[in-house]
Structure 1
Amino acid sequence: MKDWVTSPDKTMAPRWKGKAAEAKALAEPMSKIVSQLRSSLIESNSRGLLSGCSVLLPANPEQTELLNSACFGRPIITTDKDNQWFQLSLEEALYLCSVIECIKIVGENKYIKNNEELWHYMTSKKANFPILFKAYSHLRTKNWVVRAGSHYGVDFVAYRHHPALVHSEYAVIVLSHEDGNRNGRLRVWSDFHCTLRLCGSVAKTLLVLDVSKNGNGNGDTSSSLDHYSVEERIVTRWNPEQSRENQTAVV
């Protein structure tokens, strides 16, 4: 039996890494860190470079610290201590470029790509990019830290704050019935059973984000995302020993 819940924040307490971790997270909320990063990137007129299925973003020492703190991209090891490069996923790059609007992205010819050019490029690299990006931006705008979930057999994992301070709480699978659920996830009960057991073994709750299209927007443009909505569903295993009250029923 599966139990569907629609309010993620009410179902699991965060597992902090150490006694001081929660206090540190409260003192430096993720929204504040992202805001500082945004200001710094805008001030320096930062530009990322398209590179296959990722975007390479140069960063000065301040931006390096902020990108690490905000959990965007992964640093690339270089010998230059004053100039760091970060490898951003396509979802991360488009979020920084089109949602919080703090970087520009250029191609090999150094020409700045507009949103529609980026959209066509990124959708050509990932067939399911639209729903993945919609899910990624949905969680990020709620100040969840979102990282790739391939190690756990899911699309993303979501953290309440920096992974150095807290364990990830949710294993996220993104579904869309608009395209016939082309990734074939969670179609039968055995899929649910296997995924739930895996999530349970790594102490995570399964969060399903169902991306649906509303209206007749053209799916070939970035503006089409305005016509999509996201429904959050948590899948948990029912514990038959749970009781609504501590009292034994009178028979």
Structure 2
Amino acid sequence: MDFGKFVWVASVSQDRLIKQGFFGKGTLSRSIPTWDARREQVNNPRLELAPEQVTAKRRSKRREQKQLRAGMQVTATNPEEMYTMEELAAWTGGRGYEQFQLDLYETFFLLYALDVLDLENKHGTKMTTTDCWSLFHQCTEQFAYHFAAYHYYRSQGWVPKDGLKFGVDFVLYQQGPTSKHSDFSVLVIPCVTTAVQDTSDHHDTTMQLLTQPHDQAPHASWVNLLRINRVCAHVKKTLVLCYVSMDASVAHKATNDPSVLNHCHIHEVVFRRWSPSANRE
């Protein structure tokens, strides 16, 4: 935890975590660890290209086509963008430096929901579920609300991944990031559920109202929502507003007790840009 908001996996099979749910990522790769495979190509160029290399070649070809259309002289580009794998392999001495890591939501899901992971602190002491919950709350504001959303989408069969690149909290994949691009982007909006007394019919009844989003969710303003939706539309993703509400009676325990997840409720709203010219029918 001293090196960022991630948990480094030391003694578990990476293949199992990736193939059984696409949990985790490689520190030197876009998604699944491919550094070793790319490094081995230095001595065996016939090996299958890694996704990063396919993307680099496609971008290089796209730049050349733009130069041709613009009547410019085509300049050779390095598919690896900066350095060749031969140079990188020489600098690292043939050693594999890539680490396998989980984000906090993946870690707690494996620990709390599936009970297939043990977590140790930097002193080698095994941490309890409550210890992890409290620590993760110190690292990430509103961890309870975001994890409730992560747990919800995982339970529905989606593969949520970090959506910071697109200005959202999560992006949702149907079959994992190696098969196709994500279809949905999710913005988590924490809310508190309050009870209101209605005596209009002389009977004490209660109804649940969602209050305004939490102060620590500035992205929920209309201006920022329009900005985020524009980005999502540009990358062909549907923006989903995920309102995670928690009973006010237990919200004060959110930082130290994972049992508050039993009092969370999920409400979803699909946010789309409506164009008069494009949506006439």
Regarding TM over 0.5, the answer is: yes
Corresponding residue to 2:26 among 71, 75, 82: 75
Aligned to 1:148: 162
Structure 2 CA distance for aligned equivalents of residues 201 and 74 of structure 1: 25
1:155 to partner: Cα distance? 1.0
Equivalent-residue separation in structure 2 for 1:224 and 1:202 (angstroms): 35
CA distance in 2, matches of 1:75, 1:197: 30
1:116/1:221 contact within 8 Å kept: yes
Partner residue of 2:237? 204
Which one has the largest radius of gyration? 2
* TM-score, normalization by structure 1: 0.68
Aligned partner (choices 54, 58, 61) of residue 10 of structure 2: 58
Deviation readout 1:144-180 (Å, 9 max, x if unpaired): 1111111111111111112221210111111013362
CA distance in 1, matches of 2:226, 2:219: 12
Quote the offset at 1:67 in angstroms: 2.2
**Distance in 2 between the 1:127 and 1:225 partners?**
16
CA deviations over 1:184-217 (Å, ceiling 9, x no partner):
11222x2232122111100000011101013622
Pairwise CA RMSD? 2.6
Query: 1:9 matched to which residue of 2?
Result: none
The TM-score with structure 2 as length reference comes to 0.61
Is 1:182–2:248 an aligned residue pair?
no
Does the 8 A contact of 2:247 with 2:263 survive in 1?
yes
Partner of residue 129, structure 1: 143
- Of the candidates 108, 114, 137, which is equivalent to residue 128 of structure 2? 114
Match of 2:114 among 97, 100, 111: 100
What is the percent sequence identity of the aligned residues?
24
Correspondence for 1:192 among 225, 239, 243 = 225
Distance between the aligned counterparts of 1:50 and 1:195, measured in 2?
31
Larger CA deviation: 213-222 vs 98-107 = 213-222
8 Å CA contact 1:150, 1:156 repeated in 2: yes
Q: SS of the counterpart of 2:272?
A: strand
CA apart distance, 1:130: 1.3
Mapped to 1, the partners of 2:179 and 2:236 lie a distance apart of: 16
Q: What is the rounded CA distance, in whole Å, between the counterparts of 1:128 and 1:92 in structure 2?
A: 16
Q: After superposing the two structures, state which structure 1 stretch, 158-167 or 202-211, moved more.
A: 158-167
Match of 1:87, SS state, is strand
Q: Residue in 2 aligned with 1:19?
A: none
**CA–CA separation in structure 1 for the residues paired with 2:105 and 2:159:** 13
Q: Distance in 2 between matches of 1:114 and 1:67?
A: 21
Q: Is the 8 A contact 1:215 1:227 kept in 2?
A: no
Aligned equivalents of 1:138, 1:163: Cα separation in 2:
19
| Count of aligned pairs between the two proteins | 192
Do the aligned residues in 1 keep the contact of 2:142 with 2:190 (CA within 8 Å)? no
Contact kept in structure 2, 1:59 and 1:85, CA below 8 Å? no
Counterpart CA distance in 1 for 2:166 and 2:181 is: 14
Distance in 2, matches of 1:51 and 1:95, equals: 21
For structure 2, the residue ranges without an aligned partner over 5 or more in a row are 28-34, 37-93, 193-212
User: Contact 2:189–2:214 at 8 Å: present in 1 too?
Assistant: no
